[in-house]
Every structure is written in structure tokens, then in C-alpha cells.
DNA sequence: TTGAAAGCGCTAACAC
DNA sequence: GTGTTAGCGCTTTCAA
């Protein structure tokens, strides 16, 4: 079996030092590019390193500094077109600063989220960006206490840095649009994953604005689903079809729900928007290419990722003054065929 | 004893050892759960560790073993619905084995890809999974020589392990379907990113089958785009509209191209599939919810990620016998409205 | 400008 | 069962 015992055959500073006829520490200095090494010595060292195909050991360096140039990102769902662009722009921002990104997919499971936080900490990452699964933030607070940068994304966090979209305004935009188009019988496709402040705020802003116009949503017209996939939207369409009285318009909490919903309804001969107008949320890249292009609320997700990374690296770099940064980006209504 | 020299205020094995009245190595053994520690001692140690909120330092452990429980994944595009599910299933597979995943987004840029390989190696990851940007694989071969597991995904690699879909068969399925529906005037939306074996094989299988039925594609009906976004598909629609003579059917190399293409054509009053039938490729989650649901070739991308991870962990675990594993998954034609 | 010594936190190897 | 010793590869501190 693998004899792997301890025979590290990797090239180390000592090897280069021997070849260049200097001490290891001098090699270290030369490789890091400080000005403390004579030009000729440096050149000799660089040449030796190249010949030996030296690969620096970042673990050793990390052990000394008790930190690596790595950040962790914990995301609800990697393959979700809403979250994926965030990850992408964070990765871009990290690469620019020569940081690597470790990922964790929580699936909105708090236990898994905590597990990732713990593992990241064990690897001495410099900071993390999290889309939290629940309201409980104690593990994040604890991590931050220990000196690691922590930024919450796509949710609010009273006691720490966060970057999110103002979902309350988004919900309001939806309500406003529906009312302006004369709708009074209005339904809602809600999602159990709404524990997060994100969905909660959408609903809150939506209800509040409707209420201000004395429009109320009867409980029968609030359709509940546990998941947030296209299929869940299709199931909601079945639930909708089973209603005895139907609303004239409905607000789906996410575009994916709206897509499944519209798709299934169309296949059942329901006309959109004539029979039922539909508004989604998120403006994912495919919302405009839905069978019936979706009216929706656009969130600049990559901008969110960018900003989250910016805030995090400010923290890591130590350039940020104390005090928490609360950033809320304004969403924007995009009007398309599903509710013109 | 514990000198606490540097500013590292982290709890170490030594602290726990002092508190439990044992040597650090005993703590190490107890925490790792071997059977070499007396029950009472272990309990004392575990209690002490918990009280002190001990966080193991994986960098130190990694330094000793010259390797961490981490794998790297280099992906062309994180926010691409084709690649994202692969990453997700790899992450799931890794988590199952208590491995962490580091990511790199290459953007089909070879230099960036190489940079990530290098950085991953510096961090002493156990293995990597790559969707290569180009045909050049020397850096991957070198990494594997150094004892790191390497698996190529979504491309072929003659000299190493790979998991991909059999795109040649996929291209053939498209051709077959078009011919069986009586199409003879056939066009192609190609993509410059087709340097990879993936696109190349699709085209090859497609052409070969058509040729066997003596159907040839005139150069004017091969529309070229540099990118692979929905917008690129829209541009291709403009190019299509500019044609003096038009084909009756067209094969778009990816669903995203097909989506943009169909969307723009519909908005210009072209009927699909009556005026032009369209077939895509990939069966991304939204293909079925396109304005005109897409006929396409389904690739099981998450299965690909799963298998890639499986092959990689076999390598890492040392259970794999020598010899390369070449896995090609069979794609499947999915018939929908865009080319019934 | 260069080097020697010490140690980051942990674990393999070998005592006892 | 438990401890001692040594050292993974690197960098910091202090000295020359």
C-alpha cells in the first residue's frame, strides 16, 4: 500500500539555497521580491528556483501567519441562476487580489452552513461571504470575533456587514404596477424558504403597498410551496387551477416559480396575461426568454457579489474603520408580456 | 511551556494538554479518534477542548502530510447553466468525503487556467477537476506527475482520466432527427469557442451523419459567433435574417444560442418551427421553458460531475489501478416544439 | 546585504 | 496507554 509515509520529495527553499550557495532565508527574501537582496544574488536564486521547478508551500506560510490568502463563500445553491453570478463576480474580485475562493453549498441547511464555517476556519481563511440559511447568525458573529472577515450577502444582518437588495422596495414595485394596471383581485405564490429576510421583505413591501390601497389578499389566493424550482412553480399552477375563484393577477416570489407556473398554465390552455397576469422576481437571464417573457423585478446580482467582495477585502486589508456597512441596492421593475 | 510568542492567540493542542494534564500528542490522538487513548483520558481531553473552543489547524496538519483535504475545480464559467450543475455535484461528492472545494473560473483563458493550477498546487490540494480551456494539457500532466489527482471533465484527454459526454453521438442524433423529419436544407450556428473537443465533436458527428445521407451544408448557412451567450444567439438571428436563401432547419451548438436565436426571430415575425426549425444542445433547465420549447440534446451534467468526482477520489484514495479512465456518457435527444 | 536560531501547530516514529 | 523527540517548509527576530 501507499508508502507515502513522509517522503516529501518536494523542492524546498533549502534545496534552492544549497544550489545558489546562500542561506534559505535569503532565498525566501529573494523570492518574495523585497529589496533586501543583492541583484546578483537574486538572479542566481531565481535561476536555481526555476531549474528546480520550485513550488512554494503556502501551507507553511499560512501556518506562520495563521491565515492564508483564501476566502470562503457559502452559497445556498450553486446551480441557481440567481446565486451563481454572485459567486462568479466574487471569484473575479478575489482573483484580482490574488486570493483563492473555497465554496460551500448549504442548500438552506443551517447545519451544513455551520459545518462549512467551521471547516473554513480550520483552514485559516482570511474571510467569508455567506448567504445565510436562517436568521441565526451567532456562528458568523463568533467567527468575526476571532478576527476573520465576515460579510453577509443577499440578507440583512443587523450586527455586521451586509450587502443585499432592498426587497421591500421590490415588493412594493410589484404591487404598484399591478394596481396601476387596474388589478384588484391579486394572488401570491409564496415559498417556505421565505424564512430569510429576502423573501420576507418582498412579501412585506408587497402587502404594505397593497394595503395602503385597501387591497387585501384572501388566504385562498396565497399558494404555498416548499421549494423554489421550476417544478414547484408547476405544482403551484395545479393548485391555482383547483381554485374555485381565481385572481386576475399573481405575484410569484421568484422567476423560477413564475416560469414553472406560466409554463404549466399555458399547457392547460390558460392565457397569459389575459386570464391571469404574472409577475416574477429576480430577472434571471432566462426570464426574458420564458414562453411568455416575464414581467419581473431586476436585481443586480453580480453587483451584489462585487460589493460583498469589496467590503470583505476592505475588512481583510484592515482599511475599514469600525462600524458595520449596510448596503441595500435598489431593484428595478422590468415590464414584459406576462404583465404588461 | 506555552510561550505564546507570536500574536497567535489561537488555542492549540498544548493548551488543551495543559488543561487535561497530558502531553500534546495524547490530545492529538484523542481528537483524531483512534483507539489508542484510555476512555477516561479521552473524555477529559474532549471536555477541555470544548471548554477552550479549540479549532484544529488544518494548515499544520497539511504541512506534515504535504496535502490537505481539498480539491480544486477549474471551470470555464461559473454562472453558465451548463457548468454550474457540474460544480454543484462535485461539491456534494466532496462534502460527502469531508473534502473542501476551491474554485477557479478560467473563462476559457489558458493563462488563467494555468495560474489556478499553480496556485492550487501551492496550497497542496489533493486533486483537481478541470474543464480545460484549450488542447494543451502539459500543465495537467505535470501536476499529475507530482502526485496530485487530475481529472478532465467535459473534454477528452488521451493521456489521462476524463469524463465527458459523447458529443459526436449527440451531433449525430441531431442530424438523424432533422433528416427523419424531411429536412434537407440545413444550417448550423457555430461558435468560435469550438476549439474544445466538445463543440468540435458535435459538429463532426453532425456533419458525418448528414454526409452519409449526401446532405451538405453550404458555407453561407454556417453562422459563426465568437461567444456563447443568449445575446450571441440573437446576433445570429440577425445574420440569419440577412440571408438571401434560408435553410428550413438549423442546429445551434448550444441551447443558449438557440434561445437567443429563437427569441429574436419570433420578435421579427418568423414562425418556429414552420418557417425555420431549431435544435439546440445541452438541455439546460430552461430549454423546456423557452418561448418555443427547444428540441435539444440532453447531457446529464450532474452525472458528469458525480463521475468526475468519483474518479478523482478513487485516484486520491489510491484504490485505482494504473491506466486511464475514459468515460463517455451517451446523450439523448429531447423532442419539443422547436423541431417536433 | 546576509545569516543563525527559533518556532508557527501538528503528527510520525520510536521510546517507556 | 502515554510521552519524548524531531521536523514538515517557511518566516520572524535578532545579530553580524
Report DSSP letters for B143-190, one per residue.
Answer: HHHTT-EEEEESS--TTSEEEEE-HHHHHHHHHHHHHHTT--SEEEEE
Give the relative orientation of helices A24-32 and A13-20 as an angle to the nearest 10 degrees: 100
pLDDT > 70? residue A195:
no
Give the pLDDT confidence of B120-132 residue by residue, as tens digits.
999 999 999 999 9
* CB < 8 Å from B in window 17-36 of A: none
Distance of CA A262 to the CA centre of its chain: 26
B12-CA/C8-C1' distance, Å:
11
Most confident of A113-127, A183-197, B217-231: A113-127
Position A285 scores a pLDDT of 82
* B279 Rama sector, left if φ>0, alpha if ψ -120 to 50, beta otherwise: beta
pLDDT confidence tier of residue A198, bands split at 50, 70 and 90: confident
pLDDT > 80? residue A98:
yes
Contact A102 B104 (CB under 8 A): no
**Residues of chain B contacting residue A75, judged by C-beta atoms under 8 Å apart:** none
Position B286 scores a pLDDT of 86
pLDDT > 90? residue A33:
no
User: What span, in angstroms and rounded, lies between the C-alpha atoms of B29 and B45?
Assistant: 10
Strand C: which residues have Cβ below 7 Å from it?
Answer: A 5-6, 22-23, 25-26, 29, 35-38, 41-42, 60, 63-64, 66; B 3-6, 8, 10, 12-14, 24-25, 28, 31-32, 56-57, 60-61, 63-65
φ, ψ dihedrals at A269, nearest 5°: 85, 5
pLDDT confidence tier of residue A319, bands split at 50, 70 and 90: confident
Q: Which of A174, A202, A166, A154 is nearest to A307 (CA)?
A: A154
Q: Kindly report the CA angle at B122 between B121 and B125, in degrees rounded to 5? A: 50
Considering only alpha carbons, which residue of chain A is nearest residue B59? A59
Three-class DSSP category at A339: coil
Pairing of the two strands A100-105 and B100-105 = antiparallel
pLDDT > 80? residue B34:
no
Position A19 scores a pLDDT of 93
Position B289 scores a pLDDT of 85
Cβ–Cβ < 8 Å for A63, B57 = yes
Is the bond leading into A273 cis (omega within 30 degrees of zero)? Answer: yes
User: What span, in angstroms and rounded, lies between the C-alpha atoms of B11 and B239?
Assistant: 65
A257-CA/D15-C1' distance, Å:
70
Q: What are the C-alpha distances in Å from A255 to residues A258, A288, A338?
A: 5, 10, 11
- The average pLDDT across A50-75 equals 96
Position B10 scores a pLDDT of 84
Cβ–Cβ < 8 Å for B191, B253 = yes
User: What span, in angstroms and rounded, lies between the C-alpha atoms of A28 and A13?
Assistant: 7
Give the pLDDT confidence of A217-235 residue by residue, as tens digits.
999 999 999 988 899 999 9
- The average pLDDT across B277-298 equals 93
Tell me if chain A has a CB within 8 Å of the CB of B71: no
Q: Which of B100, B97, B331 is nearest to A68 (CA)?
A: B100
Q: Which of B259, B243, B253, B262 is nearest to B207 (CA)?
A: B253
- The average pLDDT across B205-234 equals 95
Grid cell, residue B260, equals 437567443
Position A4 scores a pLDDT of 34
Position A233 scores a pLDDT of 96
- The average pLDDT across A197-221 equals 94
Tell me if chain A has a CB within 8 Å of the CB of B8: yes
Tell me if chain B has a CB within 8 Å of the CB of A96: no
pLDDT > 80? residue B1:
no
Tell me if chain B has a CB within 8 Å of the CB of A95: yes
DSSP state of B295: B
Position B291 scores a pLDDT of 85
Tell me if chain B has a CB within 8 Å of the CB of A68: yes
pLDDT > 80? residue A262:
yes
- The average pLDDT across A201-206 equals 96
Q: Indicate the average pLDDT of chain A.
A: 93
Strand D: which residues have Cβ below 7 Å from it?
Answer: A 6, 8, 10, 12-14, 24-25, 28, 31-32, 56-57, 60-61, 63-65; B 21-26, 29, 36-38, 40-42, 60, 63-64, 66
- The average pLDDT across B29-40 equals 87
**Residues of chain B contacting residue A62, judged by C-beta atoms under 8 Å apart:** 59
Position B193 scores a pLDDT of 67
pLDDT confidence tier of residue B5, bands split at 50, 70 and 90: very low
User: What span, in angstroms and rounded, lies between the C-alpha atoms of B340 and B337?
Assistant: 5
User: What span, in angstroms and rounded, lies between the C-alpha atoms of A170 and A33?
Assistant: 50
Tell me if chain B has a CB within 8 Å of the CB of A59: yes
Contact A101 B100 (CB under 8 A): no
Which helix (H) or strand (E) segment is B210 a member of?
helix B197-212
More confident residue, B226 or B197: B226
Give the pLDDT confidence of A156-182 residue by residue, as tens digits.
999 999 999 999 999 999 999 999 999
A236-CA/C10-C1' distance, Å:
54
A145-CA/C13-C1' distance, Å:
38
- DSSP-assigned letters across all residues of A224-280: EES--SHHHHHHHHHHHHT-SS--SEEEESSHHHHHHHHHHHHHTT--TTTT-EEE-
Q: b/e per residue, A282-296, with b = 16+ CB within 10 A?
A: bbbbbbbbbbbbbbb
Q: Indicate the average pLDDT of chain B.
A: 93
A115-CA/D3-C1' distance, Å:
33
Give the pLDDT confidence of A41-54 residue by residue, as tens digits.
999 999 999 999 99
- The average pLDDT across B64-79 equals 97
φ, ψ dihedrals at A160, nearest 5°: -155, -175
pLDDT confidence tier of residue A321, bands split at 50, 70 and 90: confident
pLDDT > 70? residue A35:
no
Amino acid at each position: 500500500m501507499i508508502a507515502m509515509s513522509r517522503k516529501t520529495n518536494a523542492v524546498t527553499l533549502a534545496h534552492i539555497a544549497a544550489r545558489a550557495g546562500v542561506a534559505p532565508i535569503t532565498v525566501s527574501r529573494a523570492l518574495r521580491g523585497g529589496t533586501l537582496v543583492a541583484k546578483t544574488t537574486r538572479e542566481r536564486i531565481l535561476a536555481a528556483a526555476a531549474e528546480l521547478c520550485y513550488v512554494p508551500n503556502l501551507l507553511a506560510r499560512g501556518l506562520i501567519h495563521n491565515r492564508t490568502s483564501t476566502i470562503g463563500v457559502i452559497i445556498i445553491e450553486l446551480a441557481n441562476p440567481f446565486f451563481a453570478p454572485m459567486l462568479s463576480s466574487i471569484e473575479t474580485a478575489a482573483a484580482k487580489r490574488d486570493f483563492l475562493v473555497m465554496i460551500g453549498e448549504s442548500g438552506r441547511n443551517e447545519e451544513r452552513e455551520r459545518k462549512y464555517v467551521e471547516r473554513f476556519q480550520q483552514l485559516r481563511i482570511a474571510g467569508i461571504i455567506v448567504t445565510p440559511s436562517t436568521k441565526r447568525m451567532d456562528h458568523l458573529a463568533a467567527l468575526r470575533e476571532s478576527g476573520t472577515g465576515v460579510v453577509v450577502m443577499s440578507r440583512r444582518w443587523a450586527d455586521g456587514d451586509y450587502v443585499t437588495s432592498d426587497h421591500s422596495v421590490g415588493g412594493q414595485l410589484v404591487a404598484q404596477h399591478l394596481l396601476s394596471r387596474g388589478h384588484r383581485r391579486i394572488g401570491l405564490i409564496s415559498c417556505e424558504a421565505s424564512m430569510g429576510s429576502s423573501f420576507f421583505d418582498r412579501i412585506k413591501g408587497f402587502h404594505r403597498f397593497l394595503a395602503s390601497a385597501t387591497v387585501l389578499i384572501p388566504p385562498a389566493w396565497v399558494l404555498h410551496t416548499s421549494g423554489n424550482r421550476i417544478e414547484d412553480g408547476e405544482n403551484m399552477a395545479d393548485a391555482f387551477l383547483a381554485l374555485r375563484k381565481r385572481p386576475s393577477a399573481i405575484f410569484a416570489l421568484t422567476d423560477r416559480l413564475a416560469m414553472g407556473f406560466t409554463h404549466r398554465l399555458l399547457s392547460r390552455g390558460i392565457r397569459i396575461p389575459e386570464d391571469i397576469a404574472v409577475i416574477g422576481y429576480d430577472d434571471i437571464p432566462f426570464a426574458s426568454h420564458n414562453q411568455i417573457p416575464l414581467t419581473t423585478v431586476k436585481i443586480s446580482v453580480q453587483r451584489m457579489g462585487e460589493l460583498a467582495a469589496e467590503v470583505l477585502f476592505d475588512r481583510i486589508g484592515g482599511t475599514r474603520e469600525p462600524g458595520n456597512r449596510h448596503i441595500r441596492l435598489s431593484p428595478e421593475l422590468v415590464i414584459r408580456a406576462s404583465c404588461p
